Amino acid sequence: MNDKSKIKVMVALSGGVDSAVALHLLKEEGYDVSAGFMRNWDSLANSDILGNPTLGDPACPQEVDYDDALAVANKLGVKLYRVDFVKEYWDNVFTYFLKEYENGRTPNPDIFCNKYIKFDAFLKWARSLGFDYIAMGHYAKKVVINGLTYLGEARDTDKDQTYFLSQLSNKQLQQTLFPLGDLTKGEVRKIADSLKLDVARKSDSTGICFIGERHFRDFLKNYIPMQEGPIVDLTTNEVIGRHQGVFYYTIGQRRGLGIGGIKGRDDNPRWYVAKKDVSTNTLYVASDEESIYLQSTKITFTDLNFLTKEISDGQEIEVRFRYRQKKVKATFYKTSETTGKLLFPTPYLSVTPGQAVVFYDKGLCLGGAIINDIYFKEEKRN
RNA sequence: UGGGGCAUAGCCAAGCGGUAAGGCAACGGACUUUGACUCCGUCAUUCCCUAGUUCGAUCCUAGGUGCCCCAG
């Protein structure tokens, strides 16, 4: 434990700045470090055609990332492994992702990617090669208090990525290192700069992890066929437009509805998706972001997961319904080992079934769950 | 084929003789390891067509064309 040179760490190297700096920091600390590059998505084999902006590129983006990762590994004098989890990703993440969309919900694939790929398949693979820990370039902290391991929010609160780690087990957490927890993004880039890493100024990756930025509706059309149907104003019950398939839209969404001005109305409001009915293929919209149709005061959840300690019934905690959202207050209740509910002191907007709700208290991420039903004063809204 | 009304960008819609507001949508960008939200930018040399009046017409006149309403 004191002699870090005897501790073998496998750093997940993505080809971006964050994991490169994480690798460097661990090496500086004296760990016995190697790097692993994961490839989890094969655009051609996975029919990722429509909505894919990089299809025509001379070099596919993953190979560019691999080259970047290799350059980093070489510069830092570390061995780079390459490992392929395309099948595992499809079976454990993407299948779930599609099923959720087909049920009219909005999944968060990256949370499952962490749970099943980065912190499971990759972890097991590294362990099988004799590594003691894996390390990630996430902005998150591992905190040990009284012998218990907790997940702490990153010092860079703007980049904090604990939201995506909310479904991890304590064991997964214990076997992971997060070297960037006390650094800001700016500091990370400065370090990369001082090391003269080519990726120092590389822009942050966005879109689904390992897949990338996509025109989302077109992307889904590769897997879920179009099915036209009506768009109904939830306030008046009038049909005011047509959609291409309720699956393609998410609660709170404005763009993509194609609803222009309506004759006879003296306003031209923005319309937001308020409700999806898969059985009738109807998309319900509300005309104002403040509309009560977008608000909720209670939710139920499934997939309850605690990272370290359980939250007690009736406890007031802070929660997030989406990445980088300002934390808001809620009261926690458990209804079974894996389900429960949250009550809100004031209505919150566009809480979406299928998305993750993540629990926080005093700078620690306590765990999370998957949003199931949303209510406004006991009235079911989804 | 009697009367009345209206025709402005994909949609809604100002302008009513002086050289085309605004909103919605769409698209592009910023933000962003989900989906979203948000923010910024772009978007009618032209006002249904034709002829005329005028220094000048989307705005006036005439004739077309197309819708709508009332009366049949």
Contact A92, A107 (CB under 8 A): no
Question: SS in 3 state form for A63-114?
Answer: HHHHHHHHHHHHHHCCCEEEEECHHHHHHHHHHHHHHHHHCCCCCCHHHHHH
Asked if strand B contacts A267 at the CB level, meaning under 7 A, the answer is yes
Supply the pLDDT for residue A45.
86
* Residue ranges of chain A with per-residue pLDDT less than 70: 1-2, 289-290
Q: What is the pLDDT of residues A138-169, one digit of tens each?
A: 999 999 999 999 999 999 999 999 999 999 99
pTM, whole model, 2 decimals?
0.91
Supply the pLDDT for residue A52.
87
- Sequence-distant (6+) residues with CB within 8 A of A34 are A8, A9, A10, A11, A78, A79, A80, A81, A131
Q: What is the DSSP letter of A212?
A: B
* Assembly ipTM: 0.90
In single-letter form, the type of residue at position A295 comes to Q
Nucleotides of B under 7 A from a protein CB: 10-13, 22-27, 31-38
Report the largest interatomic distance among the alpha carbons of chain A, rounded to a whole angstrom: 77
Asked if strand B contacts A372 at the CB level, meaning under 7 A, the answer is no
Active-site positions of A read: 113, 209
Give the Cα separation of A178 and A12 in Å (integer): 11
Give me the A residues in range 193-212 that sit within 7 A (CB) of strand B: 203-209
With distances taken from each CA to the C1' atom of nucleotide B35, the closest residue turns out to be A106
Supply the pLDDT for residue A26.
95
In angstroms, the CA of A259 and the C1' of B59 are apart by: 31
- For A161, the 3-state DSSP assignment is coil
Give me the A residues in range 288-347 that sit within 7 A (CB) of strand B: 289, 322-325
Supply the pLDDT for residue A290.
59
> How many other CB atoms sit within 10 Å of the CB of residue A116?
19
